[in-house]
Structure 1
Amino acid sequence: MAAAGGMLVLSTILSFLGLVLYSYGLFYNTAYVNPSMDAYFKKIGVASSRGDKYGMTKFLTMWNMVFQLTYFFICCVSDLVASSGAHSPLTRKIAAFRDWFLAAVAFPIGTLVVTVFWGLWAIDRELIFPKILDEFFPAWLNHVMHTTVLPILLLDMFLVRHRYPSKLTGILGLAVVALSYLSWILWLGFVADIWVYPFLKVMEGPVFVGFILTTSVLLLGMYLVGEKVSKVFWRGHTDYDFEMAKLD
């Protein structure tokens, strides 16, 4: 029980640090990075990809920042309720929703952002983060958005035993998020003529379908990896502080 209590303290600290980190990252990007970029591009007579009325909502990175912020807020609430010793149905429901959100949203989307960003960077950084952005983006903010996401999630999964939802429930949630973002960027492209990712504009027919299917398989794989990682971290553990309910 002492060990479990210690893990709860560590997980609470991590949750709070995650909440602060992503809150400050979003604040700094909105208050300092975006205005300076827009002013610069306006000065040189070039339209900024962030300067239209849709702003940063176009980018999956920003969606992910909001998802990570939301996740660690839920974690903070869950940890605080757990630390109070209240073993109520509400406690179990909060823990179950936390686990569902990790499985269906925070882990697969966060992992996708990290792997795709650094994968494209390794090929040609101009494809994903042109050097000119270094003038506006401090290195620490770039890493908050594109690097620290995965290790923080893995540490959280190591400290907290998460009970994954049924595959139907989890994958359905992931599909809703993925289709929402895809619909959004396609609407921006075809209706508003703003192509967030220019390569989508030149894709036609089978190539476009192939891209969507490949991305879907990649996301599904990341969901399954998250589930496997959680099982590996907690293999052999059968006693927990709470019997967490599934969202089935």
Structure 2
Amino acid sequence: MSEKMAILVKLFHLIVVGQYYFSLYYDFNHVVIPHHEKHMIARPGFGGRSRYLTYWCLIVQASYFTLCVLNDVIGTNENYPKRPSKLRKLKDYIFATFAFPLAMNVAISFWSIYAIDRELILPKSFESFFPNWLNHVMHTNIVFFILLELLVSFRQYPAGKSGFIGLLVFNIFYVIWIHIIKFKTDRWVYPVLEVLNLPQRIGFILFIGIFGISFYFVGEYVNKRVWANELKSNKSSIHKHK
């Protein structure tokens, strides 16, 4: 990577981090659900914003790009470091296991349901307190930024099945979590689940789960294609130092 490109990548990481942290701040401090809209969601207050996969995803994106900034400052972005630091390994693991799959899953699932019937995912009445720019940060920008990151920053996917297992555990945890919310509040987090009967709901959850996990393999495949030469050279470098 040229020096100019390295500077642009660092600037990109800073801009993305700034956007995500400002969005988290704004959402937490300025997005207030009016009383007449509270019947649309699970019991206000229970679980907070952690009810929503979108919010989990935003935290993951902010955390990942924070690691990128830290790695830019105190780590290394070399393609072939002799001994990758723990920070570099953690950054690569978070990208592969959580950041890329969640961004793709959240964005595609959201906009697909939105195109069918937006009232099932983000009722039009929510526009009065949930600004459109924040919606795009949470459901659109996440894809553009994570794809750009895949193209400009070299990484190695976790060896073996550790990354896939990490994502699988996360998905199982979230399915359990939304059922706990249903048990506590007698209302599903997402309106789309309210209109489905039991078999349809099971099928929908299974489909979304498999759909989301599949992006781990999509990310790994695209990463191998984009960084094929670097991965081959890195593998040769590792063998030489053994």
TM tier, smaller: 0.7 to 0.9
Unaligned runs of 5+ in 2: none
2:59 paired with 1:61: no
CA contact (8 A) 1:99 1:165 kept: yes
Match among 74, 95, 102 for residue 81 of structure 1: 74
RMSD: 2.5
* TM-aligned CA distance change 1:187 to 1:150, over 3 Å: same
Residue aligning to 1:10: 8
| Cα distance, 1:105 vs structure 2 | 0.5
User: Hey, what does 1:31 align to over in structure 2?
Assistant: 29
- Provide closer, same or farther for how the CA distance between residues 29 and 122 of structure 1 changes in structure 2, counting only shifts above 3 A: same
Q: 2:148 aligned to 146, 151, 155, which one?
A: 155
How big is each residue's C-alpha offset from its partner over 1:189-247, in whole Å with a ceiling of 9 and x where there is no partner? 1234232024445542x54443343223212321111112212222333557xx89xxx
Give, in whole Å, the separation in 2 of the partners of 1:103 and 1:72. Answer: 13
Pairing 1:224–2:237 present: no
Identity level (%): 32
Change (3 A) 1:172 1:24: same
Counterpart check, 1:47 vs 2:39: yes
| Equivalent pair of 1:121/1:129 in contact (CA under 8 Å) | yes
1:170 equivalent to 2:170? Answer: no
**TM-score normalised by L of structure 2:** 0.85
What is the TM-score when the length of structure 1 is the normalising length?
Answer: 0.83
Structure 1 CA distance for aligned equivalents of residues 46 and 183 of structure 2: 16
Check whether the contact 2:75–2:87 (CA below 8 A) recurs between aligned residues.
no
- Long gaps (5+) in structure 1: none
1:135 corresponds to which residue? Answer: 128
In 2: Cα distance, 1:127 partner to 1:17 partner: 32
Say which of 224, 231, 235 aligns to 2:228. Answer: 235
Asked whether the equivalents of residues 7 and 160 of structure 1 are also in contact (C-alpha less than 8 Å), the reply is no
Deviates more, 1:49-58 or 1:164-173: 49-58
Deviation at 1:46, TM superposition (A): 5.0
- Code of the residue aligned with 2:136 in structure 1: it is H
Matched with 2:111 is 118
Deviation of residue 79 (structure 1)? 1.4
